Amino acid sequence: MLGKLLKYDMRSLRRILLPLVLGAPAVALLCAMALRLTIALSIAESQNPAFIALTMTTSLFVTVSIIAVIASPVVAVIFIMMHFYRSLYSDEGYLTFTLPLKTHDILNSKIISGVVWVVISSVSFLASGAIIVMLGTTTDTLLNTGVLQVLSELAKEMLFGAPASAYAVIMCVNAVSSQVFLITTLALSITIGSIISKKHKALSGVAIYYLLNSASSFLSGTVSFLFTLAAFNGSENFAALTYTTMSAPLVGIIFNFGLSAAAYIACCYLMKNRLNLE
Amino acid sequence: MSDAVLETKGLYKAYGPRTVISDMNISLPAGKIIGLLGPNGCGKTTLIKLAAGLLTPTDGEILVCGRQPDEVTRSFVSYLPERTYLSGSMTPRSAVGFFSDFYDDFDSSRACSMMAHLGVDPDAKLKTLSKGTKEKLQLILVMSRAARLYLLDEPIGGVDPAAREYILRTIISNYAENSTVLISTHLISDIETVLDDFLFMRGGGIVMQSSVDGAREKYGKSIDELFREVYRC
């Protein structure tokens, strides 16, 4: 049953988010072309009013498209949460909660589909950034060879250099754990908002998320501080600094998954025992 | 264990300070079409939602075939809400596929046949359909299940009189002998002929529970007339 619900959730999110994750690299491509043109025009240093107008237009386009690309993962998260709210706590919830499914299956489906699409939108965002930097920051060659060289060396180091590759894996897991934490916290916030508020459920969910996020940021800040303090133990040696740098993402992973588990259990409990679709 | 399909024991439901259901004790048998009748705000929809598991009781118990509403009861309860619960991006055909995926007791061919009878375009997006057509579709989906308990909240409120007749015929001809149909409505004269029993609700409680024939015999009035007398303003 989880598989069936997941199929429908993935399909529903794909309908909304596919244009967004494909649109971001497309906008990035146009942005890169506009950026190349802007650089070429600025090199020419012409005082021709048409040149100046064209430079201003391309610069404006570059600015707007960079903002659009940066906003794309944020918009993806907003869409995911709108889908979560709509399918559980609006009219569609009358169907979802009367399906012969266990509460945790419903929640699992929403969280898995949400995390998958957040990861896809993050990849789309990174690819868009790479397109702008690689294609847009040079006028001599197709790709910016300087940036390409730096990136390929970095990739080589991460893939084949033992400590660097381990660190890269840890960083990737840390990034995914952050996305899991984001989605579970948002799910819990919307669930609490829907229970405590009658009229402004989504707005209450946003307020609850702000509170939960502030609390978790304070907690993670305190843990990081204590961790660093313990690592240095009063001395300022380089080994302690390296140890802290390498271990911080590991602590982040444990922290993210720990809080995600707590948010998941709380959300599941509320959905099972406090559901009130008025 | 009781043989009742739906049973409440000291059921109490409040939304904040407002009590909607108060100390309700009912037991509905299998194999009946039961009308849940009463004025607006008397707790009909709340009772149905509690049975569907969409609300949590404030106190007391509600049991469906001896179980508190959960994923097991949902597999044999067919619920029709008073609102559109299907996504606007769905088509009637994809809605049939959806129900077919999740409910083992769903009969796709019966649903398609009813859609053809009622002139529901299987490939139109739901957001383009009229409110009445959406209601017809939802009723088709709900009545295409071989459920043990049908919870129908205002099933004929938004459809035209001609379709009403077909829908009522559909309800009668589609429910199994051991199933119970609980219909909440204020269109009493329309459904009176199909009812076996009825419940009159007021202020979150039951003020009268009887068989339709028994009440007609006892009071010498139709249920519609009796309703007007009981709820006279």
Which tens digit of pLDDT belongs to each residue from B46-70? 999 999 999 999 999 999 999 999 9
Residues B51/B149, Cβ–Cβ less than 8 Å: yes
Size of interface A-B (CB pairs under 8 A): 62
- B6-230 belongs to CATH 3.20.20.220: no
pLDDT at B163 over 80: no
CB within 8 Å of A129: residues ≥ 6 apart: A28, A69
Quote the ipTM score. 0.92
Angle at A147 between CA A142 and CA A153, to 5 degrees: 120
The C-alpha R_g of chain B, in whole angstroms, comes to 17
Segment B14-43, tens digit of pLDDT: 988 889 999 999 999 999 999 999 888 889
* Residue B158 contacts A, CB cutoff 8 Å: no
The residues spanned by each domain of chain B are 6-230
Q: Are the C-beta atoms of residues A89 and A276 closer than 8 Å to each other?
A: no
Nearest Cα of chain A lies from the Cα of B74 at a distance, in angstroms, of: 5
Tell me: the pLDDT tens digits for A203-250?
899 999 999 999 988 988 888 788 777 766 655 666 666 666 667 778
Cα separation, B227 vs B220, in Å, equals: 13
CB B170 within 8 A of CB B139: yes
pLDDT in the model for residue A55: 86
Mutating which of A9, A86, A96, A98 best tests the B interface, going by the most B Cβ atoms within 10 A?
Answer: A98
For residue A88 the two structure tokens come to 């559980």
Residue in B96, B101, B135 to test binding to A, most A beta-carbons within 10 Å:
B101
For residues A209 and B29, give the distance between their C-alpha atoms in angstroms, rounded to a whole number. Answer: 46
**Torsion, CA A98, CA A99, CA A100, CA A105, rounded to 10:** -110
Q: Which residues of chain A does B17 touch, with a Cβ-Cβ cutoff of 8 Å?
A: none
Query: Quick one: which of A255, A273, A274, A241 has its CA closest to A185?
Result: A255
Tell whether B86 lies on the interface with A, counting CB pairs under 8 A: yes
